[in-house]
Structure 1
């Protein structure tokens, strides 16, 4: 089974433009993420896939592997799908470019899903982490996920799910972490399928897979990590790096 990692990287992030080229302990965020992914030793190959000449040159000039997107893309999955469509691979793992503290144990968990999936029932595997803070549960920037009894995703939402109408029932809430492992066929299908209304309403690309009947196996991790979405996140990351 050939397993690679793709790190989708846009320069023009809406909340923090140019964040991937910000300095983090003497190297850029995107280069830190790339090196951390390579250093896990989990992948046959690692690429940064980008629409930015600046990011492309940053990776290539430091001995890494980068791919320039041919088309404009609205989401990371489309960017990855274009890059892998003609590659001879089995599994591709999407590592977010703004998470330089790549956690090997969590990545290993999503890869193991496919090693154990002898019936090839799983189309995607992804990570979730438990959250207890009600501010985060209610925050629309935090994507929540609910699963069935086997750990397959039922739905993703920016709203609190499930809604706690009966507050006496103890319910665990899970945050969806944007790390995916895809079968190649699943992500290529995604690329060629049009967006439907639920994904358009929530602005959560994982919903497209559910709307077309794909099966997403969720894996719990207790590693929160640091996503660099704002200048404040970057300052926090710098403190952790030190």
Structure 2
């Protein structure tokens, strides 16, 4: 199975411009992501996808493969499709690795790719929620999954679903297992080509979650549970927390 790992990296982040190049204890954020991804045994190749010459030069300087893509993409998914169209290789799947998670564990990538058997259209990671603050945080999307050995996503939401009508909110975690979504995606390459041609859907616009577009159009998203946490850096304050905790 040929699997391409793609790390989208923009310079013009609204909340943290240039964060891909920020220094974290002697290495840039994007370099840390690349080095972690390269340790995943299931990936055939790892490529950085960027729209900025500064990032391209930096990535090339430390010896990683980098592909220039359009600055007009609305999501990392769209950027991944452009990369697939440019690179050589007959890849069956693409893994979209977040460029702002410098401490992503290779085991997470390998756990996700373990379910890529040719029939899986799309796959992503989920993690059980044990903290009420996470459950109620709209910036931490939740996912409702199907029953059975092969679990699939039924719906993603920024709100806790299901709503437990007859119990106080403080007790919800005691009576139901909730999962948060971890934004590591795997796409079968033919499916990737299809979903990037879809117009934004009503559910996607309502929740601001692109994966709802795929569900609304009938695509199936397999979910894989992980116990490992991910730490994304969206703001300078997030970086300060990481730097402080790493001391």
TM-score with structure 2 setting the length:
0.91
2 CA distance for matches of 1:41 and 1:96?
A: 18
Structure 2 segments unaligned to the other structure (5+ residues)? none
Q: Give deviations 1:78-132, integer Å, cap 9, x for gaps.
A: 11011113652101111100111121222111111113x6xx1x21110011112
2:95 aligned residue = 93
Q: Aligned pair in 2 of structure 1 residues 90, 241: CA closer, same or farther (>3 Å)?
A: farther
Q: Give deviations 1:207-241, integer Å, cap 9, x for gaps.
A: 11101111101111111121111222212322454
1:10 maps to 2:37: no
2:156 aligned residue = 156
Task: State the Cα RMSD in Å.
Answer: 1.6
Q: Give deviations 1:9-61, integer Å, cap 9, x for gaps.
A: 11111222222111101111011101111122331110010111111111011
Q: Give deviations 1:190-215, integer Å, cap 9, x for gaps.
A: 11111111111111111111011111
2 CA distance for matches of 1:152 and 1:140?
A: 22
Structure 1 segments unaligned to the other structure (5+ residues)? none
5 Å-filtered alignment, 1:162-201, equals 162-167=162-167, 170-201=175-206
- Pairs aligned (count): 238
2:133 aligned residue = 135
Q: Which moved more, 1:44-53 or 1:101-110?
A: 101-110
5 Å-filtered alignment, 1:1-242, equals 1-70=1-70, 72-85=72-85, 87=87, 88-115=90-117, 120=119, 122-150=120-148, 151-167=151-167, 170-242=175-247
2 CA distance for matches of 1:38 and 1:47?
A: 10
TM-score with structure 1 setting the length:
0.93
2 CA distance for matches of 1:149 and 1:166?
A: 23
Q: Which moved more, 1:133-142 or 1:19-28?
A: 133-142
